[in-house]
Amino acid sequence: MIRKLRISILSMILLGTAWFGSAASVVMAGPDLQQPTVAVATVTGTPEGPAVRVNADQAQINVRSGPGTEYTIVGVLVAGQIVPAYGKSAAGLWIQVGYSGIPEGVAWVYSPLVTVLRGSDLAILEPPPTPTPLITPTIDPTLAAQFIGEIPATQLPTFTAPPPLAIPTFAAEEPLLSPNTFPIGLLIAVLAIVGLLGTIFSLFRR
């Protein structure tokens, strides 16, 4: 009986010690266990200097490494996003803006897709060098020779002269009375005399 009583008292002491330790740990921990820490995103304020804002009719626009489509795309900006502006291209079609997504910290956007908020007289900046292609196309001469056929040389046509044209000739007809053989004047005189004699003879017969 006494042994059972000692065991009960010892059990009560052990339970009380365990409860007291748990309560003490809760009190010492304080509000840290009741309210866990949550990370809150940091909101960047609007730039005070010259800035541009992406037009609302654009879901997102490309950000390039230089002022032109030949430059690579380094990121995007969404509608309504405001970023600082540092300058523009010579023609004013591209604007250099601050962009923290690349090591350089600056990039270029197409000006018709954004609205300049402050500093409409942005300075003209020199564009960065045009990026060189990563792969330079080369032509294998052995492979190209398989598709290039040699055209055999052909002899130019020779010119053959046509046969001579035969033109017929006609002998001139000699007149009945050639001026070289009988004079025309003498013939007229003879005829006149004959007519005169015929006239005189007819008069005498009357």
Tell me how many domains the chain contains: 2
Q: What is the mean pLDDT of residues 150-179?
A: 74
Q: Are strands 114-118 and 51-54 parallel, antiparallel or unpaired?
A: antiparallel
Question: Is residue 95 a contact partner of residue 122, using CB atoms and an 8 Å limit?
Answer: yes
- Give the list of residues 6+ apart from residue 53 with CB closer than 8 angstroms, or none: 80, 81, 82, 114, 115, 117
| Full domain range(s) for residue 60 | 51-118
Q: Does 124 fall in a domain?
A: no
Q: Does 182 fall in a domain?
A: no
The domain spanning residue 88 has which CATH number? 2.30.30.40
Q: Does 82 fall in a domain?
A: yes
C-alpha 153/C-alpha 11 separation (Å) is 118
Q: What is the pTM of this model?
A: 0.44
Q: Does 69 fall in a domain?
A: yes
Q: Does 163 fall in a domain?
A: no
User: Residue 66: pLDDT band by 50, 70, 90 thresholds?
Assistant: very high
What pLDDT, in 10s, does the model give residues 111-161?
999 999 876 688 899 888 887 766 666 777 777 667 776 777 777 778 788
Q: Does 28 fall in a domain?
A: yes
Q: Does 12 fall in a domain?
A: yes
Q: What is the mean pLDDT of residues 73-98?
A: 93
Q: Does 101 fall in a domain?
A: yes
What pLDDT, in 10s, does the model give residues 41-53?
233 456 678 899 9
C-alpha 13/C-alpha 6 separation (Å) is 11
Which of residues 201 and 11 earns the better pLDDT score? 201
Give the length of the chain. Answer: 206
